[in-house]
Structure 1
Amino acid sequence: MNLKDIFNYDLISVGKFSINAFDLFISVVIIIISIFLLRLIKKFFNNRVKAGKIDKGSAFSIYSIIKYLIWIIVILMILETMGVNLNLMLAGSAALLVGLGFGIQQIFNDLVSGIILLFEGNLKVGDVIQLENNIIGRVRVIGLRTSKIITRDDIIMIVPNSKFISDQVINWSHEQGSTRFLVEVGVAYGSDTELVTRLLLECANQVPEVDISPEPFVRFNDFGDSALIFQLLFWTKETFRSEYIRSKIRYAIDRKFRENNITIPFPQRDVHMISDKK
């Protein structure tokens, strides 16, 4: 048996449909070339990220789009190589696809949302986001149907992509390196407001995660019922750890206020007792 006979040998034969060794060989070659090509493309984007010419999130999104397109083309080429009539197959499955469409509307919605996310780039890998239920997490993977985010408690959440399109999502990392946060504190009436302002700024400057530029600033926000209300506003690039940074600032404020005899008052309420005398 020569090489030609081996290639023409039918491995699968069902009616008029058959797959010979040559068809299988060509299909394997196409898959190997595709895998090699995808590795080259991924290496190209990794080099661009290391060189600082593109950010990691954008590189991942573009690579994902290219990967999906290549595999779609590969599948179509393999089917064509094996003699499958794509036009006939699509026409015959049209009614089935319509029927399935009513049952998998949500899945289809998630798939379309995934494509929109990858093309628009409003959400990228590494972004810190806040969902409508106040869950805050960092985007780990943007898939075609679902995405993965890791919360501050190191819990991996799998979120359908349609949630990012239909719900309100706050992206703390979008188009800027730093995000502004605040710490609010009340001091007793009669306190030296200039001293309070200076101490709050010192507390912010003691925390390494707080950005130097823009500089933190203090706002005398209100005359409260039992306290003068101040707000310390600061910027940080560590948005994912913002609660930890605010905690460090509060520790510093408590220590500074004790050292300088600044009192944080308890809430005060006046209670009037009315006696009903007959």
Structure 2
Amino acid sequence: MIGSLLRLFEGLSATEATLVVLVVSVVSAVGMEFVILRLARQYVSNTDTEYDNIVISSLRAPLVVTAALAGVYLLTQVPAVRSSVLLEPGTLDDLFGKPSLSVIVLVWAYAANEVVNRLVAAVNEEGGRFDFAPVFSNVWTLSVLLGSAGTLLWLWGIEITPLLGAAGVAGIAIGFAAKDTVANFFGGIALYFDDTYKIGDYIVLDDGTAGTVIKVGVRSTTLLTRDEVMVTVPNATLNASKVTNESAPQRRRRVRIPLGVAYGTDIDAFEELAVDVALSESMVLDSPKPRARFRSFGDSALQYELLCWVNGPTRRRRAQHQLNRALYKALNAAEIEIPYPKRDVTVTETRPLDAAGAAGAPATATPPSVDETDAGGSEKTDAA
């Protein structure tokens, strides 16, 4: 491509070629600033997203600088100009050509870092999945620095092969020294792309730890438990363990209230009463509708389970408390028995008879007789 452009300057003197290049560079820079970029800004101003505005504003400087400095580099490659300058071969490139390309590389590296970091921050703020903006920003900034440094070294003819070898050895050493940190970092990346959870979700780990995700960092995830205690869990541990996300795919959660009533209870009336109690509780959702389910015939009671839904996993415990109170009061008011084991202990005392048939001195009391009664029936046992 450079060769095709240079053929356009054949037959021109050094002065003419210089004037042409300078005019084209100035016109290109001005046109880029006041025509192309202005039209692009007007177009993106009508869109609903802010992403395109970020891209246009971040790429403005490198486009204008490239349009201006590309002419300087091209001018150093024109044969008429190179032959007219009384300098050593290659000096013109060192003074003007390579510096102009270096400035272009640095400007584009800064713009690439700026646009990606701003886009990641915007996505993170809107989505709220992970607090991963620092992670991607740091990784991307490091990549841009390494890439631009390698490009500049190659541009100035500096051999980078020994540096690559040294960097490889250093990378292996750092990898062994910081293997836990590296494992946590990649564990966090895996959790992010697997969409395991996001900030604000209530999760339960396989060891019983439960809490709301309040921060996801490079190394670890921070949970806030119901006791308002912050627990920091390494990302590698989370990636290797079973994680139950109780906030996904939707936040509503079912509450189960086990309940037993005595044999002989009117189950139709009881089921209607239990459902009415659940519907009257403000924390219980109207849809799906609460319902009572007959689970089994117990030893002492008919085993029921009241099922209803609340808006969020952190409301279940409070909803259970309110429902248990309301059910106890309602069942007492309706005279529906909640069975439980009962024991009646009776202590009796006997006196032995003497030879004449009269009662003698009190003897040691016999062991008490025990009446055991529960809702399923009664049983009396006399111990001799």
TM-score, with structure 1 as normaliser: 0.72
- Aligned counterpart in structure 1 of residue 181 of structure 2, from 107, 111, 114: 107
**In structure 2, distance between residues paired with 1:250 and 1:267:** 20
Q: 1:30 to 1:223 in 2, by over 3 A?
A: same
The amino acid that maps onto 1:141 is K
Amino-acid identity (%): 26
Deviations 1:67-113 (A, max 9, x none): 34433334436765997987644522544543454454333221111
**Counterpart-to-counterpart distance in 2, 1:80 and 1:254:** 75
**Equivalent in the alignment of 2:363:** none
Distance in 1 of aligned mates of 2:270 and 2:160: 75
Q: Which amino acid aligns with 2:273?
A: L
- Structure having the higher helix fraction is 2
Bigger relative CO (Cα 8 Å, ≥ 6 apart):
1
1:1-278 alignment runs, 5 A limit: 34=113, 38-39=117-118, 41-43=120-122, 46=125, 49=126, 55-57=127-129, 60=130, 63=133, 66-76=136-146, 88-267=162-341
Equivalent-residue separation in structure 2 for 1:211 and 1:157 (angstroms): 31
- Relative to structure 1, the CA distance from residue 68 to residue 212 in structure 2 (aligned partners, 3 Å threshold; closer, same or farther) is farther
Q: Secondary structure at the match of 1:198?
A: helix
Cα deviations by residue, 1:229-250 (Å, 9 ceiling, x for unpaired): 1101112222122111111111
Unaligned stretches of 5+ residues in structure 2: 1-101, 344-371, 373-378
Task: Report the Cα offset of residue 273 of structure 1.
Answer: 7.3
- Cα 1:219–1:92 change in 2 (3 A) is same
Report the CA distance shift for 1:184/1:247 in structure 2 as closer, same or farther (over 3 A). same
- The one-character-per-residue Cα deviations of 1:113-147 (angstroms, maximum 9, x if unpaired) are 11111222122111111111222211111112201
Amino acid at match of 1:127: D
Find the structure with the greater CA-based Rg.
2
Alpha-carbon distance between aligned partners in 2 of 1:174 and 1:213, rounded to the nearest angstrom: 18
Aligned twin of 1:10: none
Query: How many residues are aligned here?
Result: 243
Task: Please tell me the residue identity of whatever aligns with 1:113.
Answer: G
**Alpha-carbon separation, structure 1, partners of 2:138 and 2:119:** 15
SS in 1 for 2:142: helix
Point out where structure 1 has 5 or more consecutive residues left out of the alignment: 1-22, 50-54
Q: Is the 8 A contact 1:122 1:174 kept in 2?
A: no
Cα deviation, 1:164-216, whole Å, max 9, x if unaligned, reads: 22111111122223222211111222222122211221222122222221111
Query: Structure 1 209/72 Cα, relative in aligned 2: closer, same or farther at 3 Å?
Result: farther
* Helix, strand or coil at the partner of 2:256: strand
Shift of 1:153: 0.9
Q: Is the 8 A contact 1:146 1:158 kept in 2?
A: yes
Give the alignment's TM-score, normalised by structure 2. Answer: 0.54
**1:86–1:212 CA distance, 2 compared to 1 (3 A):** farther
Secondary structure of the 1:221 match is strand
- Counterpart CA distance in 1 for 2:114 and 2:326 is 54
Could you tell me how far apart the structure 1 residues matched to 2:169 and 2:255 are? 55
